[in-house]
C-alpha cells in the first residue's frame, strides 16, 4: 500500500497504527520482562548473578548499537520493509529465547532479538508521519508515546503475573502470537514510503555501534562500581570513536548519525530534553520499589499497586497531550509537564517514615500527569523538526534518546545506592527532580513553533 500525500484514510490508518503499537509494545516490554526474571534464570541455568546480567545487557546493547544504522537503512530501502523484517527477526529470536537451555544460547538469542527490536523501534515514529495527516501528527505521536511509556512502566507487573503461573521461558514465548499477528496486519496495511538514493555507509554503522556500545558499557560500569581503569578506557574510547563518527558524518547529505538535524536548535534541545526526562523517570522507577519494600515494609503486590497510578495518569494524559500539541505550543506544554513531574518527585522525596497511602499515590499521579504532558509534545517536536526525507534519522534518534536516558538513570541509582546504602532513595528522587527541571528548561528554551 502506497502512502498518500498526507496520511492514510480509514480504516487503513487504524490497522496500520495497530501493528505499530503491537511491535513497539513487544520491543519495549521484552526489555523489562527479562530483568525481573534474572534471579530465576540464574538459578535454573546455574550461573552467577553477575553472569545473568548479560541477558539484559546483550539486548540493550544490540538495540542501542543498531537503532541509527537501521533508521538510515529505512530511509534507503523504505521504512515498511525495515519494520517488517525487524518483526520477523524479533519473533524468531523470541522463539529461540523460549527454547534456550544454556546461558550462551539465551544471550546469543537476546542479541538477535535486540537487532529485531531495533528494526521495529528505529522506524516506528517515522512511519507515523506517513500514516497520519500532518495536521494530526501530534495525535499519532501521542498514541505511540502512550504505548511505549506505559508498557515500559508496567513491565514488572506483567512479568510478575506471568511468572506466577509459568516459568521464565513463557516471558519470551508470549511474543510469538503477537509477532505473527503484527506481521500479518503490517504486511497488508503499512504504507510504502519514498526510497532514498543515498548509499548505506557501512563504516559509519560500525563507528556508530562502537560509540554507543562503549558509551553504554562505560555508563553502566560507572554505576555498578566496575574497575575505574576499565570505565575510563571505555568512556575515552567512546569519545574517540564518537569524534571520528561525527567527522565522517559532517560532509554527508543524509548522515547516519543525524548531525544535520542537530544543527537545528529545536531538534537538538528536544533530544536533550528527552534524555533528561527519561533519566528522571528511570531513576524514580528504579529506586521507588527498594524504598517501598525495604524502607516502608510494603509487599511486592502493594508496591505494584502504589506505583500503578503513575502509569495510569501518564497513559491518560499522553492521549490528550498529543492532540493538544497539534494546536498549542509544545514548548510550553513540555515546560509545564516537567514542572508537574518535578513537584511530584519532590513530594516523593519528602515522604515521612510511616506515610498514609495517599502520600505516595498523590505524588505518583502528579509525576505521571507531568510526564505524559511532556512526552507526546516533545516527540512531536522531534519529528516535525525534520524534513519528511529525514524522518528515519529523527525517529532513530528519538528512540536512542529514550534508551540513553533510561541507561543514565539506572546507572545514577546504582552509583548513589553504593555511596549511600541506607536512605539513598530520597537523594535519588531529589536528583531526579533536578533532571526534570533541566528537561523543562530545555523545552521552554526551544522555539515555540
Which of 90-99, 126-135, 234-243, 257-266 has the least mean pLDDT? 126-135
Average pLDDT, the chain: 87
Is 90 exceeded by the pLDDT of residue 435? Answer: yes
Question: Residue 447: which pLDDT band, with cuts at 50, 70 and 90?
Answer: low
Question: Residue 429: which pLDDT band, with cuts at 50, 70 and 90?
Answer: very high
Is 80 exceeded by the pLDDT of residue 305? Answer: no
Q: What is the per-residue pLDDT across 213-222, written as a single tens digit (0 to 9) for each?
A: 999 888 888 7
Question: Residue 448: which pLDDT band, with cuts at 50, 70 and 90?
Answer: low
Percent of the chain beyond pLDDT 70?
Answer: 94
Is 70 exceeded by the pLDDT of residue 306? Answer: yes
> So what's the pLDDT on residue 200?
84
Which of 35-44, 267-276, 394-403, 406-415 has the least mean pLDDT? 35-44
Helical pair 424-445 and 330-349, crossing angle rounded to 10 deg: 170
Is 90 exceeded by the pLDDT of residue 282? Answer: no
The per-residue DSSP string of 292-310 comes to IIIIS---HHHHHHHHHHH
Across the range 230-255, mean pLDDT stands at 92
Alpha-carbon distance values, 444 to 123, 325, 329, 431 (Å): 27, 14, 10, 20
Alpha-carbon distance values, 439 to 90, 334, 390, 446 (Å): 32, 8, 24, 11
Q: What is the per-residue pLDDT across 51-75, written as a single tens digit (0 to 9) for each?
A: 777 888 888 889 989 999 999 999 8
* Sequence-distant (≥ 6) Cβ neighbours of residue 109 within 8 angstroms: 93, 96, 97, 100
Percent of the chain beyond pLDDT 90?
Answer: 42
**For residues 157 and 130, which has the higher predicted lDDT (pLDDT)?**
130
Given the candidates 1.20.1250.20, 2.30.30.100, 3.20.20.10, 1.25.40.10, the CATH classification of the domain at 257-449 is 1.20.1250.20
Q: What is the per-residue pLDDT across 9-42, written as a single tens digit (0 to 9) for each?
A: 888 888 999 999 999 889 888 877 776 677 788 8
Is 80 exceeded by the pLDDT of residue 187? Answer: yes
Contact between 59 and 30 (Cβ < 8 Å): yes
Question: Residue 226: which pLDDT band, with cuts at 50, 70 and 90?
Answer: confident
Contact between 115 and 66 (Cβ < 8 Å): yes
| DSSP element (H, E) containing 99 | helix 79-99
Q: Residue 62 CA to chain centroid, in angstroms?
A: 13
Tell me the torsion sign for CA atoms 401, 403, 408, 409. Answer: positive
> So what's the pLDDT on residue 228?
84
Across the range 218-244, mean pLDDT stands at 87
> So what's the pLDDT on residue 364?
93
Q: What is the per-residue pLDDT across 153-168, written as a single tens digit (0 to 9) for each?
A: 677 677 777 877 888 8
Question: Residue 300: which pLDDT band, with cuts at 50, 70 and 90?
Answer: low
The class (CATH top level) of 1-201 is mainly alpha
Is 80 exceeded by the pLDDT of residue 223? Answer: no
Q: What is the per-residue pLDDT across 347-364, written as a single tens digit (0 to 9) for each?
A: 999 988 778 878 889 999
Across the range 280-300, mean pLDDT stands at 81
Is 80 exceeded by the pLDDT of residue 421? Answer: no
**For residues 11 and 446, which has the higher predicted lDDT (pLDDT)?**
11
Across the range 289-295, mean pLDDT stands at 78
**For residues 226 and 126, which has the higher predicted lDDT (pLDDT)?**
126
Q: In the chain, where does the domain assigned CATH 1.20.1250.20 lie?
A: 1-201, 257-449
Q: Can the peptide bond before residue 11 be classed as cis, meaning omega within 30 degrees of 0?
A: yes
How far apart (Å, rounded) are the C-alpha atoms in residues 327 and 135? 9
> So what's the pLDDT on residue 50?
64
* Joined grid coordinates for residue 121: 523501534
> So what's the pLDDT on residue 166?
84
Question: Residue 412: which pLDDT band, with cuts at 50, 70 and 90?
Answer: confident
pTM of the model: 0.85
Which of 27-36, 199-208, 276-285, 403-412 has the least mean pLDDT? 27-36
> So what's the pLDDT on residue 423?
65
How far apart (Å, rounded) are the C-alpha atoms in residues 237 and 388? 34
Question: Residue 2: which pLDDT band, with cuts at 50, 70 and 90?
Answer: low
Residue of 318, 347, 313 whose CA lies nearest to 432 = 347
Contact between 97 and 110 (Cβ < 8 Å): yes
Amino acid at each position: 500500500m502506497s502512502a498518500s500525500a498526507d496520511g492514510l484514510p480509514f480504516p487503513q490508518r487504524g490497522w496500520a497504527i495497530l501493528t505499530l503499537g503491537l511491535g513497539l509494545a513487544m520491543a519495549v516490554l521484552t526489555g523489562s520482562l527479562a530483568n525481573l526474571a534474572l534471579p530465576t534464570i540464574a538459578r535454573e541455568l546455574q550461573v552467577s548473578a553477575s553472569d545473568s546480567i548479560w541477558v539484559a545487557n546483550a539486548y540493550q546493547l544490540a538495540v542501542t548499537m543498531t537503532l541509527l544504522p537501521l533508521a538510515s537503512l529505512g530511509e534507503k530501502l523504505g521504512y515498511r520493509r525495515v519494520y517488517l523484517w525487524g518483526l520477523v527477526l524479533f519473533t524468531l529470536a523470541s522463539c529461540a529465547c523460549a527454547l534456550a537451555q544454556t546461558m550462551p544460547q539465551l544471550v546469543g538469542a537476546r542479541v538477535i532479538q535486540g537487532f529485531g527490536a531495533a528494526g521495529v523501534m528505529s522506524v516506528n515514529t517515522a512511519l507515523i508521519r506517513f500514516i497520519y495527516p500532518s495536521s494530526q501528527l501530534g495525535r499519532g505521536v501521542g498514541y505511540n508515546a502512550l504505548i511505549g511509556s506505559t508498557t515500559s512502566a508496567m513491565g514488572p507487573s506483567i512479568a510478575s503475573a506471568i511468572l506466577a503461573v509459568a516459568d521464565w521461558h513463557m516471558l519470551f514465548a508470549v511474543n510469538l502470537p503477537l509477532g505473527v499477528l503484527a506481521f500479518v496486519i503490517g504486511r497488508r496495511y503499512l504504507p510504502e514510503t519514498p526510497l532514498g538514493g543515498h548509499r548505506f555507509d557501512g563504516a559509519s554503522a560500525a563507528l556508530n555501534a562502537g560509540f554507543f556500545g562503549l558509551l553504554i558499557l562505560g555508563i553502566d560500569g560507572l554505576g555498578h562500581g566496575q574497575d575505574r581503569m576499565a570505565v575510563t578506557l571505555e568512556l575515552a574510547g567512546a569519545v574517540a570513536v564518537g569524534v571520528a563518527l561525527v567527522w565522517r558524518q559532517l560532509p554527508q547529505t543524509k548522515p547516519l548519525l543525524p548531525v544535520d538535524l542537530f544543527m537545528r536548535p529545536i531538534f537538538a534541545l528536544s533530544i536533550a530534553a528527552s534524555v533528561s526526562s527519561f533519566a528522571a523517570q528511570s531513576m524514580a522507577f528504579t529506586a521507588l520499589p527498594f524504598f517501598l519494600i525495604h524502607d516502608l515494609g510494603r509487599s511486592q503486590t502493594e508496591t505494584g499497586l502504589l506505583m500503578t497510578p503513575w502509569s495510569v495518569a501518564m497513559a491518560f494524559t499522553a492521549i490528550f497531550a498529543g492532540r493538544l500539541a497539534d494546536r498549542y505550543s509544545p514548548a510550553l506544554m513540555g515546560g509545564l509537564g516537567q514542572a508537574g513531574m518535578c513537584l511530584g518527585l519532590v513530594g516523593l522525596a519528602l515522604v515521612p517514615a510511616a506515610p498514609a497511602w495517599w502520600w505516595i499515590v498523590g505524588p505518583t499521579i502528579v509525576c505521571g500527569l507531568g510526564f505524559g504532558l511532556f512526552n507526546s509534545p516533545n516527540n512531536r517536536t522531534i519529528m516535525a523538526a525534520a524534513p519528511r526525507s529525514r524522518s528515519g534519522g529523527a525517529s532513530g534518534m528519538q528512540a536512542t534518546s529514550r534508551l540513553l536516558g533510561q541507561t543514565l538513570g539506572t546507572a545514577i541509582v546504582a552509583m548513589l545506592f553504593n555511596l549511600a546504602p541506607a536512605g539513598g532513595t530520597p537523594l535519588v528522587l531529589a536528583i531526579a527532580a533536578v533532571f526534570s527541571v533541566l528537561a523543562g528548561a530545555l523545552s521552554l528554551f526551544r522555539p515555540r513553533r
